[in-house]
Amino acid sequence: MEYYSTNHSTRNVSLCEAVVKGLAADRGLFMPERIPSLPNAFFKNIGNLSLQEISYAVANTLFGEDMDSSELKNIVYDTLNFEIPLVHVNGDIYSLELFHGPTAAFKDVGARFMARLLGYFTRNDKSKGEVNVLVATSGDTGSAVANGFLGVEGVRVFVLYPEGKGSQIQDAQFTTLGQNITAIEVNGTFDDCQRLVKSAFLDEELNAKMKLSSANSINVARFLPQMFYYFYAYAQLQQRNQTDKDIVVAVPSGNFGNITAALIGKRMGLPIKRFIAANNRNDIFYQYLLTGKYEPKPSIATIANAMDVGDPSNFARVLDLYGHSHKRICQEISGCTYTDEQISETLARTYKEQGYLLDPHGAVAYRALMEQLKPGEAGVFAETAHPAKFKSTVESIIGDTVAVPERLEKFMQGEKQTVNMPSGFTWVK
Ligand SMILES: *Cc1c(COP(=O)(O)O)cnc(C)c1O
């Protein structure tokens, strides 16, 4: 299968090229040229399949033509070797806990999948040489990518992150690793980091000297595997005899990679009725739904900081999926925007009344379902991070202690190794 650019002014490329390049030559984002469907029989029986079986069936439908199938199977099985439970929270609302991976963030799956795919393609094409992966992060991307790529041969990773914005646990997950991972602390915001990465991809001199690739959700190998979650959520709803209801999926959204993967999953046949793109105060998409105008803004710092994005990079993909029709987008996707106070209140109340501990990101999506779910619908929200990743914030909200899982605790014991620099591109170059 070929991949086209959302800017439509460059040729189509192979999966290999899309993964290695990250961004198209005309600065557009790669999209699969057609979206294949899975057969109805697959969905009838999906409740009997495991996470790995479902994910492989979906991956094979998307990527099967372009690589060795036993290799693809290994990659899927290794990437998805942890639990993604669907937990009942309240009424018809379920939490899809995406945080049981190595760094306790949902980005683990995309990052690990991409690392393995990039490793596969560079191994099979020696002319590619060493690949340098650049990634801008406000916290979770950096840790998931750095850990996903740690020790992968032929790949070096540079993580650019804003000084003093992430939580201590988040930062420790990519600043303490060493080996092929370099952490760069930028004196600026997340948007500055994202701009620096984009500038690097456009710099001819740099690209002549080094092979550069991205690991932000602009890379197809990172964002597409996130659709596995939603197929598995559907399977678990089927096991609980909930699939006679209309299914609504709410996704806490920043760069819109996760929700875009879910939207493509629906095009592949997954029976989801509608989606909610849940926002914190960075409400550019919510405003777009209201007005039809897309107006990027500088990001605002919130307690759900992985969603502090003022210009969601996957918006171009959402537009393309719906033929740039605001009307069609509004028919399938609704939105919401919540302040830190509303997020805190939701988190505290759900802990007290339901005994369920949300993290600030999941809380945004949960509240959206509480407000927007209609009779006859069942709602699933993506719980995208373990609450312990935002320990001090969450503890001050609930007035109780939050236990840190052992695998997160380990990162805190490592030694911080980081390069500090101003936000000018010449420094990074
Ligand atoms: C990255 C992230 C998000 C936002 O995901 P996008 O794919 O960028 O929309 C939400 N919650 C957490 C915890 C994250 O790390």
Give the tens place of pLDDT for each residue, 272-304: 999 999 999 999 999 999 999 999 999 899 999
Between 140 and 36, the more confident residue is 36
| Residue (of 28, 228, 32, 23) closest to 133 by Cα position | 23
User: Does the pLDDT value for residue 14 go beyond 80?
Assistant: yes
No. of helices (H) and no. of strands (E), the chain = 20, 13
* Residue 194 confidence (pLDDT): 86
**Considering the domain boundaries, does residue 386 fall inside one?**
yes
* Residue 272 confidence (pLDDT): 98
Q: Which band of pLDDT confidence, cut at 50, 70 and 90, is reported for residue 173? A: confident
**Is the CB–ligand 1 distance for residue 140 below 6 Å?**
yes
CA dihedral sign of residues 11, 13, 17, 18: positive
User: Does the pLDDT value for residue 126 go beyond 70?
Assistant: no
* Residue 201 confidence (pLDDT): 85
Active site residue 198: no
**Considering the domain boundaries, does residue 253 fall inside one?**
yes
Q: Which band of pLDDT confidence, cut at 50, 70 and 90, is reported for residue 153? A: confident
Question: Which among 97, 138, 249, 253 is the best mutation to test ligand 1's pocket, defined by most ligand atoms within 8 Å of the CB?
Answer: 253
**Is the CB–ligand 1 distance for residue 253 below 6 Å?**
yes
The residue range of the domain holding 314 is: 84-105+224-402
Considering the entire predicted model, what is its pTM?
Answer: 0.92
The CATH number of whichever domain residue 278 belongs to comes to 3.40.50.1100
Residue 269: DSSP 8-state: T
State in Å: Cα 307 to ligand 1 middle: 6
Mean per-residue pLDDT of the chain: 93
Reported as a single tens digit per residue, the pLDDT across 228-262 is 999 999 999 999 999 999 999 999 999 999 999 99
**Is the CB–ligand 1 distance for residue 105 below 6 Å?**
yes
State in Å: Cα 384 to ligand 1 middle: 7
Residue 385: DSSP 8-state: B
CA dihedral sign of residues 32, 97, 107, 72: negative
* Residue 364 confidence (pLDDT): 98
Average pLDDT on 89-101 reads 96
Reported as a single tens digit per residue, the pLDDT across 190-221 is 889 989 998 998 899 998 888 888 887 789 99
What number does the ligand 1 atom closest to the CA of 385 have?
13
* Residue 411 confidence (pLDDT): 79
User: Does the pLDDT value for residue 160 go beyond 90?
Assistant: yes
**Is the CB–ligand 1 distance for residue 385 below 6 Å?**
yes
**Considering the domain boundaries, does residue 119 fall inside one?**
no
What number does the ligand 1 atom closest to the CA of 260 have?
7
**Considering the domain boundaries, does residue 138 fall inside one?**
no
Question: Which among 384, 391, 394 is the best mutation to test ligand 1's pocket, defined by most ligand atoms within 8 Å of the CB?
Answer: 384
Reported as a single tens digit per residue, the pLDDT across 61-82 is 999 999 999 999 999 999 999 9
Average pLDDT on 366-378 reads 98
Question: CB within 8 A of 415, min separation 6: which ones?
Answer: 176
**Is the CB–ligand 1 distance for residue 173 below 6 Å?**
no
Question: Which among 307, 314, 389 is the best mutation to test ligand 1's pocket, defined by most ligand atoms within 8 Å of the CB?
Answer: 307
**Considering the domain boundaries, does residue 387 fall inside one?**
yes
Rounded alpha-carbon distances, angstroms, from residue 1 to 60, 63, 138: 12, 7, 33
**Considering the domain boundaries, does residue 285 fall inside one?**
yes
182 DSSP β-pair partners: 158
Between 142 and 231, the more confident residue is 231
* Residue 127 confidence (pLDDT): 62
User: Does the pLDDT value for residue 128 go beyond 60?
Assistant: no
**Considering the domain boundaries, does residue 293 fall inside one?**
yes
Provide the domain count of the chain: 1
**Considering the domain boundaries, does residue 27 fall inside one?**
no
Could you identify the residue written with the tokens 């991070």? 385
- Choice among 21, 107, 389, 391 that is catalytic: 107
Reported as a single tens digit per residue, the pLDDT across 394-419 is 999 999 999 999 888 887 788 888 99
**Is the CB–ligand 1 distance for residue 165 below 6 Å?**
no
**Is the CB–ligand 1 distance for residue 252 below 6 Å?**
yes
